Amino acid sequence: MLWLEFKKLLEQRIIGVFILLCVVFNLLMIINIGFDQSYLKDVTAFKHEQGQLISPTSIETAEKLPFSKNQQRLVNELSEAEDVFSHLFYQELEEQVIDHYQVTGKMSQNLGNKYQQLEPVIKKLSQEKDALDIAAAGDTMNYFTYIRNVLFRMILLEGIIFAVLIGLYSSTSEKLTKTEALVFTSKRGRKIQFSKFLSGLGLVLLFYLLTTFIVMFSFQMTESLADLWQSSVSTQFHVNIYMPDILELPFITWIPLTLWGYIMASAVLGLFIIIFIYSSQFLVGLYFNHIFKGFVFTIFLIALHKLVRLYAFRLGWWTIFTGVNFLPIAIVENQSYWFTEMGIFSIIPLQETVVVVSSCLILGLLILPVSRLYSRKEVK
């Protein structure tokens, strides 16, 4: 029965068209990147010769390289390098964030506690000299930002849209085909919903995983970052930009991560988000028994969340602002800051991970009793 429901989903033409459009769009985005490959290659070669970290010796070596535009750029960037973590204290980060956003009350205390917990992380980054990772010098900022804020955001958005549509369709398809009375008049027929839930979940996860693989593999083939994937994401060339030129903080993750590790961790967290969204939409579809009504309800919740968050921020209602940031919708909106201190968007370490995993667990606990209740539901 499970395979039969999965096959029915695959046979829907609109699903095939959506997948094809996503693949074509993703490939076009990658083909048209147009970054400076020559500088990337020169710095990668220099890194192989001089080692992972910037030092006075590496600067001297760079100055002796044949004169070129890339050589001058490399010398300038290495000369300006500094181990920012060696003289960085959590109080500085706390003050910058609180002063910039004018945070008051309980939330300012919560932020202070969060940044205090960040102190051991800063010390470890200083000991390992992650800030001095050459990491293709400043050009990795372009690559890292593009992967994180364009490619991965695109993958996540496509996965979310697909999860919403499949979740609603899976739980309301009988309504669309006017067969709900026929199916739901028997207990066996009503139990089909659980098979539909599992088959839809499998299709959504397959779409997300394949999209992630295709995009990242295509990016690697066209841009070839090679061993730069193993560079630290906390190099001085990466920053967390909350407000350009006004509030830019070092890229500090709660756990040490390489560029590859960061992308993989983001992909795993995105997987949990997809599971949560699909499951919640399936339940919404069961409740409304109408795909369009369920979709409108979802859009309403998203719009309400954005409205409450916006006004809470503007009016300084920090308790409400803190609360809405603990919702999965806020985690998706804050995707650019995952695994970092996240500024005012979090008050506990790794808040995005805690919220998403706990939401999935709570939703999972609801699915079984709801499915049992629905199996006894009488058709009206």
Task: Name the band, by pLDDT with cuts 50, 70 and 90, for residue 379.
Answer: very low
Task: Name the band, by pLDDT with cuts 50, 70 and 90, for residue 190.
Answer: low
From the list 257, 301, 314, 313, the residue with the least C-alpha distance to 133 is 257
The span from the CA of 132 to the CA of 236, in Å, is 6
Task: Name the band, by pLDDT with cuts 50, 70 and 90, for residue 159.
Answer: very high
Q: How far is CA 68 from CA 56, 65, 71, 151, 360, in A?
A: 20, 9, 5, 32, 53
Task: Name the DSSP class of 149.
Answer: I
Residue-wise pLDDT for 27-52, tens only, equals: 787 777 767 677 777 777 777 777 77
The residue ranking higher by pLDDT, 13 or 73, is 73
Residue-wise pLDDT for 202-243, tens only, equals: 889 999 998 999 888 888 777 767 667 888 888 877 888 898
Span 309-321, average pLDDT: 93
Max CA distance (Å), the chain: 83
| Residues with Cβ within 8 Å of residue 44, at least 6 apart in sequence | 136, 226, 227, 228
Span 72-79, average pLDDT: 82
Q: Is 173 helix (H, G, I), strand (E, B) or coil?
A: helix
- Whether pLDDT at 58 is above 90: no
Q: Do residues 155 and 196 make contact, with C-beta atoms less than 8 angstroms apart? A: no
Return the ∠ at Cα 61 (arms to 60 and 64), rounded to 5°.
95
Would you state the pLDDT for residue 322?
Answer: 93
Task: Name the band, by pLDDT with cuts 50, 70 and 90, for residue 109.
Answer: very high
Residue-wise pLDDT for 4-27, tens only, equals: 555 566 556 677 777 778 878 877
- Whether pLDDT at 318 is above 70: yes
Count of other CB atoms within 10 angstroms of residue 329: 16
Q: Do residues 235 and 131 make contact, with C-beta atoms less than 8 angstroms apart? A: yes
Task: Name the band, by pLDDT with cuts 50, 70 and 90, for residue 123.
Answer: very high
The residue ranking higher by pLDDT, 150 or 175, is 150
